[in-house]
């Protein structure tokens, strides 16, 4: 977990905290709360809650993390493609650059990710020897499709669009949900 935070500079966690602060600030204060450099109480609660869930899941999963983590990371990031495709960009900055400025459509943007996913699935089908683990692996792939669409849809509807903070929140929530689901299945 710590290595992921260091690699991204905590960017996704910051987005999670800002998004939760914005959601609970109310519709009129939402963007102002998300813009505020100070973290609010709901942001701190979200961070603590998510971190505790992730730690508990990793302790439960242990050695199977090498199968689960790539799926979590993939779907967490893939969820942003649904976000950008479906919602308009909202910003609290006047000169902000939207992700949609260079958007080529969902099919083109997701093609390389889908190819990677297919190669990863093929590799796992060959390397996983236990049928139980294989069924869990395939379930996580299907569950990932659902979550990577559902979570950004829920967030986008709640905040009225997407921005960098909401995209970061989507990444963290999808990753944690898939991690949690796998820990439950063990």
Q: Provide the 10 A C-beta neighbour count for residue 123.
A: 11
Quick one: pLDDT at residue 47? 94
The answer to whether 162 and 84 are in contact (CB under 8 A) is yes
Task: State the average pLDDT over residues 135-154.
Answer: 90
The domain segmentation of the chain, as residue ranges, is 2-185
CA-CA distance, 131 to 82, in Å (whole number)? Answer: 31
Quick one: pLDDT at residue 17? 93
How distant, in Å, are the alpha carbons of 1, 5, 73, 121, 184 from that of 134? Answer: 24, 29, 19, 10, 16
CA-CA distance, 54 to 183, in Å (whole number)? Answer: 10
Quick one: pLDDT at residue 93? 65
pTM over 0.85: yes
Quick one: pLDDT at residue 97? 62
Query: Is residue 36 scored above 90 in pLDDT?
Result: no
Give the model's confidence band at 113: pLDDT under 50 very low, under 70 low, under 90 confident, else very high.
very high
């Amino acid at each position: 977990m710590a290595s992921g935070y260091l690699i991204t500079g905590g960017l996704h966690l910051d987005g999670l905290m800002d998004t939760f602060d914005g959601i609970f600030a109310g519709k009129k204060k939402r963007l102002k709360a998300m813009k505020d450099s100070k973290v609010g109480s709901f942001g701190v609660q979200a961070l603590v809650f998510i971190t505790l869930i992730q730690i508990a899941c990793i302790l439960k999963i242990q050695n199977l993390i090498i199968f689960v983590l790539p799926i979590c990371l993939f779907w967490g990031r893939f969820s942003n493609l649904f976000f950008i495709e479906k919602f308009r960009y909202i910003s609290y900055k006047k000169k902000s650059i939207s992700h949609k400025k260079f958007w080529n459509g969902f099919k083109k943007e997701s093609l390389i990710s889908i190819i990677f996913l297919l190669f990863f699935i093929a590799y796992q089908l060959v390397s996983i020897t236990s049928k139980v683990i294989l069924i869990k692996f395939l379930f996580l792939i299907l569950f990932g499709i659902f979550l990577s669409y559902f979570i950004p849809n829920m967030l986008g509807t709640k905040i009225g669009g997407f921005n960098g903070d909401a995209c970061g929140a989507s990444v963290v929530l999808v990753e944690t949900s898939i991690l949690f689901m796998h820990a439950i299945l063990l």
